[in-house]
Structure 1
Amino acid sequence: MLQTAPHLAFGYHQNDAGNRVYLIKELDRITGQGHSAISVDDTLKIIACREQQKKLSALQMELAAAQQEGFTSNHLLETNKAPRKRPLVVIGVLTRFGRKNNRDAIRKAWMGTGEALKKMEDQKGIIARFVIGRSANHGDSLDRAIDSENKKTNDFMILENHVEKPEELPKKTKLFFAYASEKWEAEFYAKVNDDVYVNIDALGNALAAHLDKPRAYIGCMKSGEVFSEQGQKWYEPDWWKFGDKKAYFRHASGELFVISQALAKFISINRSILRTYAHDDVSAGSWFIGLDVKHVDERSFCCSSWSSGAVCAGV
């Protein structure tokens, strides 16, 4: 059986190579005929194409050498395989230390464990993980308890570089979307609180109706007052940014909201400069306010209580 060289897992396209060579020759011809100075764009094209040609030549040599040793390309090996179906949604259940009872209740109610969790992934295309950071005292009993629980259940996404604090929830939400989009190539990514029960079938049906929206932000949309007095439960330190009437822009309620892959990738790429506010739902809404995003006010995502056709319920 042929082996696969790990560093040769790429698809080689002869047309692409030919196009690059042609473009290089054309640009060299233009510059060699005494024409007026070429534009900056053309200069950059020359540089980029020559760099690509060098890389391509090196890869061709590497491929030829590897094939002589019995290696072949993953692309060739996989041509007869059915394409792997993309997951529908990755659900991040944001949890905290001391909330094992909540997690166990969720496992029993809708998430499942072991084979049931895997079956949900394979048959429904729904991946669910509990999301948690690390203790400020890295490696202490809190961390060890989570590691022990995860060893038994294997259903955590542990954010190793995030310190678990209530006031850091907006940053935690941002990191979940960033890391989840890097780990799984899904259609959607959902943030859920660990005191919310999800109707998995209803969620799947609701999201399937929005597959045609490449930049969808789906949730129970709301606005509301910005609290400017310290000591208030929902105090917002940056209250002054929201105008004289101090009202939040439209955003999805934080119990459960979903974003499409393009938006999750946007968060991943720009996470170092995306501003967070006091609350994670407001923060997420702020990231999309200036983008060409479809805000979907999905009332079945309002999690106050169960109702006919509801996707979720808060407890």
Structure 2
Amino acid sequence: MDLCSCRNLGSGETLKKMEKEKGVVSRFVIGRSADRGDSLDRSIDDENRQTNDFIILDQVEAPGELPKKVKMFFSLAADKWDADFYAKVNDDVYVNIDALGATLSSHLDKPRVYIGCMKSGQVFSEPSHKWYEPDWWKFGDKKSYFRHASGEIYAVIKQEVDPISLNCRSLLRTYAHDDVSAGSWFIGLNVKHVDEGKFCCSSWSTGLSLFLPFSI
């Protein structure tokens, strides 16, 4: 889970310039190797010393750890940066900073917003299925997820991130998928779900989407 595509936002001095001129902070989020201190860890540490464009989490970088990774990201980001919005973006999403600013700014007057391409979807109870949910039984007989933002890209206003930061370690549970996990936290905070069409992949041109970096 990177917060932007390096092909679009660059790194190092480019990100510093973007922060100063546009008020947007963007960081790549990555965990540690399962073999702590190996060549992969050393490579990331070396690059970060040069560019300072990573948030390096104290957990193993693995697909099954994505929900915990998102939780730790929101917690660390809220502690480090006082932003109006915090956003999570997959690493294959392109970013248009001006479009980002315009869209998020249009929601600043709305309290408790959780912005994304909203969906629900089927809960799969078969262990052999690609999208298996071990906690499938918690979603009722119809086996359908609650409404939540698609994981490619979503943003949350500051007031909704602070409670996640406070309760990150012990109280917030995770499910099999990071977008479902995040959606469960925000439902508990009584957010206003904003189904923003510009965040849906169906609205993007080929190879180009509109958003998002880390905060504005």
| Correspondences of 1:41-60 after superposition (within 5 Å) | none
| Correspondences of 1:167-178 after superposition (within 5 Å) | 167-178=64-75
Instruction: Report how far residue 303 of structure 1 moved.
Output: 2.7
Instruction: Report how far residue 144 of structure 1 moved.
Output: 0.8
Equivalents in 2 of 1:237, 1:185: separation in Å? 36
**Runs of 4+ in structure 1 displaced over 6 angstroms?**
none
1:288 aligns to 2:191 (yes or no): no
- Flag the 1:135–1:170 CA change in 2: closer, same or farther, 3 A: same
SS of 1:269 mapped into structure 2: helix
Instruction: Report how far residue 305 of structure 1 moved.
Output: 6.0
Equivalents in 1 of 2:201, 2:42: separation in Å? 32
Instruction: Report how far residue 213 of structure 1 moved.
Output: 2.3
Report if the CA contact (8 A) 2:33-2:40 is conserved: yes
| Correspondences of 1:80-99 after superposition (within 5 Å) | 93=2
Report if the CA contact (8 A) 2:13-2:51 is conserved: no
| Correspondences of 1:52-201 after superposition (within 5 Å) | 93=2, 106-109=5-8, 111-159=9-57, 161-201=58-98
Equivalents in 1 of 2:202, 2:35: separation in Å? 35
Report if the CA contact (8 A) 2:198-2:204 is conserved: no
Instruction: Report how far residue 299 of structure 1 moved.
Output: 0.8
What residue is the counterpart of 1:13 in the other structure? none
Instruction: Report how far residue 147 of structure 1 moved.
Output: 1.1
What residue is the counterpart of 1:243 in the other structure? 140
| Pairwise CA RMSD | 2.0
Instruction: Report how far residue 114 of structure 1 moved.
Output: 3.1
What residue is the counterpart of 1:210 in the other structure? 107
Task: Specify which structure has the bigger relative contact order, considering alpha-carbon pairs within 8 angstroms and separated by 6 or more residues.
Answer: 2
Instruction: Report how far residue 228 of structure 1 moved.
Output: 0.7
Equivalents in 1 of 2:65, 2:55: separation in Å? 17
Q: TM-score, normalised by structure 1?
A: 0.63
Q: Give the partner amino acid of 1:301.
A: F
Equivalents in 1 of 2:39, 2:109: separation in Å? 46
Q: TM-score, normalised by structure 2?
A: 0.91
1:279 aligns to 2:177 (yes or no): yes
Report if the CA contact (8 A) 1:256-1:303 is conserved: no
The runs of 5 or more residues in structure 1 that have no matched partner are: 1-91, 95-102
The runs of 5 or more residues in structure 2 that have no matched partner are: none
Instruction: Report how far residue 134 of structure 1 moved.
Output: 1.0
Q: Give the partner amino acid of 1:300.
A: K
Report if the CA contact (8 A) 1:196-1:303 is conserved: no
What is the percentage of aligned positions where both structures have the same residue? Answer: 68
Equivalents in 2 of 1:264, 1:151: separation in Å? 28
1:222 aligns to 2:122 (yes or no): no
Instruction: Report how far residue 304 of structure 1 moved.
Output: 4.7
Larger Rg: 1
The structure whose residues are more often helix, as a share, is: 1
Equivalents in 1 of 2:55, 2:12: separation in Å? 16
What residue is the counterpart of 1:72 in the other structure? none
